[in-house]
């Protein structure tokens, strides 16, 4: 049963558990943000350019901060806000600084290859300048950011020793993915659902953009070749258990890692977190999501976001408090 021979007990410092969680979350945030920027850039093609770029600070809950710094939302201003601005806590600059700082704390624990790549990635991001946000380089910059984050993910998969720290790392990654997908859906879904009284039909381009921002476009097409249906998109992003970034799949993964921490490492006190997780997972069914999406998904998505935040808190307080 035991994957790790128990010659002696290897403890994990509580503070390090929290750091691994954050390391995973910050790198995941870089990937998500880069994808959203790229999709916004590529699909912001209608006449009202402003509206589309503003959607990025909206998804990230940054409207207020963004408006303080910029008058209009353009590729330049949004690019600068998210790619260059170290005073913006949700920029890739802030994310990589935080990721590297957590990695530094964990440096004796993570693989040297993880550290090396993250350190180089850090150097590259820190050197980004206005040139990188220009129209000629914007897509390439976003792609490099995604590549760097995905390289981290791959190196982690291949080199990070799978004891306690790895489980916490994976929980962090899945919490972040669940959170990001929920956020994305929350800000875009409502505006995309055709209003019966207006009756202008489905805007396929916008649904494409939403799914691309979640890295789910092709998978969705495969599952639903006949077109878009708001309930089906909601189900795909929330309840589908094959889509890597669906909330349901990620909650399931968190549950698995928490259980392993309990059974393999004898960690106690997680019943609160597991119960919360269990309830939340229970809502991620096709039936439930279809029903909610046909009325108003917003209150539900707010609830999901709150619960994901609370889950993170539960875990931190239980093990790292």
Partner 1 sequence: MPVGAASQSQIQSLLQPHGTMQGYDPGAYFCEMLRPGQPTHPTLTLLMSRLAALPIASLRQRAADAETDLLERGITFTVYSDATAIDRILPFDLIPRVITPAEWRQIETGVTQRVRALNMFLQDVYHERKILKDKIVPAELVLKNAGYCEAMVGFKVPFDTYVHVCGTDIVRDETGEFRVLEDNARTPSGVAYVVENRHMSLRVMSDLMTGLRVRSVDEYGLRLHNAMAEIAPTTVSDPQVVVLSPGIFNSAYFEHVFLAREMGVPLVEGRDLTVEGGKVWMRTTAGLAAVHTIYRRISDDFLDPDAFNPESTLGVAGLIEAWRKGAVAIANAVGTGVADDKAIYAYMPRIIRYYLSEEPILKNVDTRICGEADALAYTLDHLAELVVKPVAESGGYGLLIGPHASKQELENFRVLLKADPSNYISQPTLKLSVSPTLCDEGVRPRHVDLRPFAVTGKDTWVLPGGLTRVALKAGTLVVNSSQGGGSKDTWVLA
CA atoms lying within 13 Å on the CB side of residue 147: 10
CA distance 176 to 158: 21
What the block records as the tokens of 191 is 């505006």
Q: Which of 22, 82, 95, 115 binds partner 1 (CB under 8 A)?
A: 115
Torsion angle defined by CA atoms of residues 26, 27, 32 and 38, in that order, rounded to the nearest 10 degrees = 120
Q: Which of 3, 9, 127, 198 binds partner 1 (CB under 8 A)?
A: 9
Give the nearest distance from C-beta 28 to partner 1 in angstroms.
Answer: 21
By beta-carbon proximity to partner 1, the closer residue of 92 and 261 is: 261
CA distance 259 to 265: 10
Give the per-residue contact string, 14-53, with partner 1 (x = CB under 8 A; - = no).
xxxx------------------------------------
Residue 13 as a binder of partner 1 (CB under 8 A): the answer is yes
Cα angle vertex 246, ends 241, 247, to 5°?
Answer: 105
Query: Of 185, 174, 225, 183, whose CA–CA distance to 204 is shortest?
Result: 225
Residue 101 as a binder of partner 1 (CB under 8 A): the answer is yes
Residue 94 as a binder of partner 1 (CB under 8 A): the answer is no
Give the per-residue contact string, 116-155, with partner 1 (x = CB under 8 A; - = no).
x--xx--x--------------------------------
Note whether 224 and 232 are within 8 A (CB). Answer: yes
Give the nearest distance from C-beta 18 to partner 1 in angstroms.
Answer: 10
The sign of the CA dihedral 41, 45, 50, 54 is negative
- Positions that interact with partner 1 (CB under 8 A): 8-9, 11-17, 101, 104-105, 107-109, 112, 115-116, 119-120, 123, 164, 168, 261, 265-268, 319-320
């Amino acid at each position: 049963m035991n994957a790790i021979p128990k010659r002696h007990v290897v403890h994990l410092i509580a503070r390090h558990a929290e750091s691994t969680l954050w390391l995973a979350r910050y790198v995941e945030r870089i990937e998500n943000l880069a994808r959203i920027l790229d999709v916004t850039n590529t699909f912001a093609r209608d006449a009202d350019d402003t509206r589309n770029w503003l959607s990025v600070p909206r998804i990230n809950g940054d409207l207020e901060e963004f408006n303080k710094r910029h008058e209009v939302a353009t590729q330049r201003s949004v690019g600068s806000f998210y790619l260059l601005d170290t005073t913006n806590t949700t920029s890739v600059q802030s994310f990589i600084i935080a990721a590297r700082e957590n990695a530094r704390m964990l440096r004796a624990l993570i693989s040297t290859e993880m550290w090396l790549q993250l350190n180089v990635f850090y150097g590259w991001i820190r050197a980004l300048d206005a040139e990188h946000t220009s129209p000629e380089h914007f897509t390439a910059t976003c792609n490099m950011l995604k590549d760097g984050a995905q390289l981290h993910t791959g190196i982690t998969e291949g080199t990070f020793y799978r004891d306690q720290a790895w489980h916490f790392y994976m929980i962090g990654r899945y919490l972040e993915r669940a959170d990001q997908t929920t956020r994305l859906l929350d800000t875009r879904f409502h505006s995309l659902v055709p209003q019966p009284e207006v009756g202008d039909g489905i805007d396929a381009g916008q649904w494409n953009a939403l799914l691309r921002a979640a890295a789910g476009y092709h998978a969705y097409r495969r599952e639903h070749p006949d077109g878009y249906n708001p309930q089906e998109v909601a189900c795909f992003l929330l309840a589908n258990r094959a889509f890597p970034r669906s909330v349901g799949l990620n909650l399931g993964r968190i549950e698995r890692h928490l259980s392993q921490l309990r059974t393999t490492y004898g960690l106690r006190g997680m019943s609160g977190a597991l119960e919360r997780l269990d309830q939340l997972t229970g809502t991620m069914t096709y039936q439930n999501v279809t029903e909610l999406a046909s009325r108003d998904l917003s209150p539900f998505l707010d609830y999901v976001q709150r619960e994901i935040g609370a889950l993170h808190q539960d875990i931190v307080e239980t093990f790292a408090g």
